[in-house]
Chains A and B, each alone.
Chain A
């Protein structure tokens, strides 16, 4: 090791992590070179001064108030986090509830629609029946599954059906249209609009008819 190298690495001689080979070379050089030996001694004095400072400040630590402030910050953040998580849970719960309600509603609607679905199919077939579909009142067709608030009157030419595969088709039409089914109609009231239920067979042919109760009061149907 020469003087230049000693200046760069020789002062690491006393360090714990010093390379043993380099440290030995530096010590050897210092023994031979008075200048480098003086440098080493000066540095050792400085190191002892630094050790003095290190020892004097060995127990220095952040004051307790720092810890208090940090604990407070931690608690504040933890408390802030709880409502946020609860909000998230509540959000998910509401979403789940909405899905449940929607599913329930769909199931109910679907269940109700089973019979009317058949009626709807029948009604399309009924549309071809003269006197019911050819009139503009077809637009007013309403479907009902359980409107049985009165007795049905068998249509002329039809036979009573016992199979039970029948549907009720609710229609709003002018009273005069009932004449096409063979019912006598008062000419003066032929233009009145009435709600009528047709009992439709599975082949789509109307079998019987009845007027709604409010209309029955004034019915002329015999």
Chain B
């Protein structure tokens, strides 16, 4: 049986005893999603990196905080990440990072795409606009959009991660969608109006 197939709580017990392989298995399973969540919430690769590190440090230093009876390990880790993200957002005004650099600081490369350079540039611009629009949402609505639309979680999963009822998530998502629609429609219309003005 592969180590990744083992149950999360078994892996966690092994990791707590100092089993590096078990810990790495847990880390590999969850880190990317947590990192993306933190990055989308904060807009800062540096902050996202810190959040992921702190989440797993909690797992190393205070494993007793996770109780199997209270839910999946993934939801627990999201909960810890969420607390850290919210603290980060409280500490700093919104960091609307529009850079397209990766967490390593290197330049972001567009995936291989059979598009013309013009199309690639437009696509990148559009991605930047969406990123900015998401980051401009109030934290609670942003979180609902990030979890339900970008991470494609179900309402139930998102509610577990946020520690709130499903109705609250739906309500936040509704508000977030409305704000996002308005922002992106506005951005979508701006170039059109500009080009219309030129005609």
Contact = CB atoms under 8 A, between A and B. Distances in A.
Partners in one complex: yes
Interface of A: 7-9, 11, 16-17, 39, 42-43, 45-47, 49-50, 52-57, 59-63, 65-67, 69-71, 73-75, 77-78, 81
B49 A46 contact: no
A59 B32 CA distance: 8
B181 A52 contact: no
Contacts, number: 109
Interface in B53-83: 53, 56-57, 60-61
User: Which of A9, A53, A71, A77 has most chain B Cβ within 10 Å?
Assistant: A53
A70 B103 contact: no
Given A52-B126, A66-B49, A77 B32 contact: no
A63 B156 CA distance: 30
A60 B20 CA distance: 23
Interface string B3-23: 000000000000100101001
Given A61-B35, A70-B57, A77-B60, A46 B48 contact: no
Given A62-B49, A62-B52, A62-B103, A53 B130 contact: yes
Nearest to A79: B18
Given A42-B185, A81-B18, A52 B155 contact: no
A70 B25 CA distance: 13
Contacts of A70: 23, 27, 53, 56-57, 60
Contact of A75 (B20, B52, B57, B177): B20
Contacts of B170: 8-9
Contacts of A75: 20
A62 B150 contact: no
B164 interface: no
Interface of B: 15, 18, 20, 23-24, 27, 31-32, 34-36, 39-40, 48-49, 52-53, 56-57, 60-61, 102-104, 110-111, 123, 126-127, 129-131, 134, 145, 149-150, 152, 154-156, 170, 174, 177, 180-181, 184-185, 188
B127 A66 contact: no
Contact of A46 (B15, B61, B103, B177): B177
A60 B23 contact: no
Contacts of B53: 62, 66, 69-70
A61 B180 CA distance: 25
B45 to A, nearest CB: 8
Contacts of A66: 31, 49, 52-53, 56
Nearest to A54: B150
Contact of A63 (B103, B123, B184): B103
A164 to B, nearest CB: 66
Contacts of B31: 61-62, 66-67
B154 A42 contact: no
Given A42-B181, A70-B60, A73-B57, A47 B149 contact: yes
Nearest to B38: A62
A11 B149 CA distance: 12
Contacts of A77: 18, 60-61
A50 B130 contact: yes
A56 B53 CA distance: 23
B184 to A, nearest CB: 5
B49 A8 contact: no
User: Which of A43, A55, A57, A75 has most chain B Cβ within 10 Å?
Assistant: A57
Contacts of A16: 152, 154
